[in-house]
Amino acid sequence: MATQIFVNLPVSDLERSVAFYEAVGFRVEEHMRDEHAVGMVVDEGIWLMLLTHPFFLRFTTKPVADAAAATEVITAVSAESPGAVDAMADRAAAAGGTPFDYAMEMPGMHGRSFADPDGHQWEVIHTDPSFFGG
């Protein structure tokens, strides 16, 4: 079985976050949904787990970081084309996300960044396969 990646995010309003990430393009996996957490498919083998703060704290002894005040991590996902990068970033902004002025423009690469309603930072990037010799 291939390795899977689970990105666990503490969120202040579970349903608001679900609506945001559905608008971005992720899919709710209904059998992974209850009042404490919702599992969403980002892509094959990649999951976004939205967890209420109290539920998230069951898995750590550290307090939940205030993602609106400090950057804890930047989660990056790839897109199939520069247009797909722009479309996802635009959907995030339309759904209440915060776009960043930062945009990655370099030979063979195009990327944009946004934060979700809780401040979790994301980057969407397209890289021309020839950039890495592929």
pLDDT (0 to 100) of residue 114: 97
| pTM for the model | 0.91
Lookup result for tokens 């999951």: 47
Dihedral sign (CA 66, 33, 114, 109): positive
Choose among 75, 116, 91: nearest CA to 23.
91
Q: Which residues contact 22 (CB under 8 A, 6 or more apart)?
A: 28, 40
- In this predicted model, what pLDDT tens digit does every residue of 21-60 receive, in sequence order? 999 999 999 999 999 999 999 999 999 999 999 999 999 9
Q: Which residues contact 134 (CB under 8 A, 6 or more apart)?
A: none
Could you state, in order of their start, the residue ranges of all structural domains in the chain?
1-60, 68-133
- In this predicted model, what pLDDT tens digit does every residue of 64-113 receive, in sequence order? 999 999 988 999 999 999 999 999 999 999 999 999 877 777 888 999 99
Domain at 68-133, CATH class: alpha beta
Domain 1-60 indexed as CATH 3.10.180.10: yes
